[in-house]
Amino acid sequence: MVKRPTAHLEDLPLFAGCSRRQLQEVHRAIEVLDVDDDRIIARQGARAEELFVVVTGEIRLLRDGRGEAVVNAGQWTDPLAVLVRRARDHSLVAGAGTRVLVLGRRELTAVIDCVAGVGRRLLTTIAEAEPTVRPRLLLVQPAAGMSR
């Protein structure tokens, strides 16, 4: 049986609830990669240019060469770093049998703009994973001439 091109997307929490049409839009924006075991797919300190969504396998997060966390199937890497072009806090290293969906910054932005629900799920992930974001946002000063 041949799977539809969007079949693997339907099973991922990030795209849960998307219509078939929305999944087709996402499918056009992504690249699917099968990654060799222990391959570094992004380096700590490099600008985050892609969001990785794990389909199978895992991505290990290493800081200064030490393992700190694992991104498992159905999870995704730091969307905030990609959206704001921040340097990565961790190197991303593929585990055995890892398949990832890759969304570059431009494609990620297009998916957020065009596919209802994806932006909300990403914001929820950011809020849960980065509790220090909110206090920093409250400290941002308004631009000259703007009132609070």
Give whole-number Cα distances, 30 to 6, 52, 58, 102, in Å.
Answer: 11, 10, 18, 5
Q: What pLDDT sits at residue 147? A: 47
- 142 versus 89: the higher-pLDDT residue is 89
Whether the CB-CB separation of 48 and 42 falls below 8 Å is answered with yes
Q: What is the pLDDT of residues 73-118, one digit of tens each?
A: 988 888 888 988 999 999 999 999 999 999 999 988 888 888 877 8
Q: What band does 6 get if pLDDT is binned at 50, 70 and 90?
A: low
Residue 13: DSSP 8-state: G
Give whole-number Cα distances, 51 to 3, 20, 67, 103, 118, in Å.
Answer: 24, 22, 20, 5, 13
Q: What pLDDT sits at residue 143? A: 46
Give whole-number Cα distances, 96 to 36, 39, 60, 68, in Å.
Answer: 7, 9, 11, 18
What is the average pLDDT value for the chain, to the nearest integer? 81
Among residues 32, 74, 69, the alpha carbon closest in space to that of 50 is found at 32
Q: Residues near 39 by Cβ (< 8 Å), separated by ≥ 6?
A: 93, 94
- The class of domain 7-130 in CATH terms is mainly beta
Domain locations along the chain: 7-130
Q: What pLDDT sits at residue 135? A: 41
Q: What pLDDT sits at residue 93? A: 97
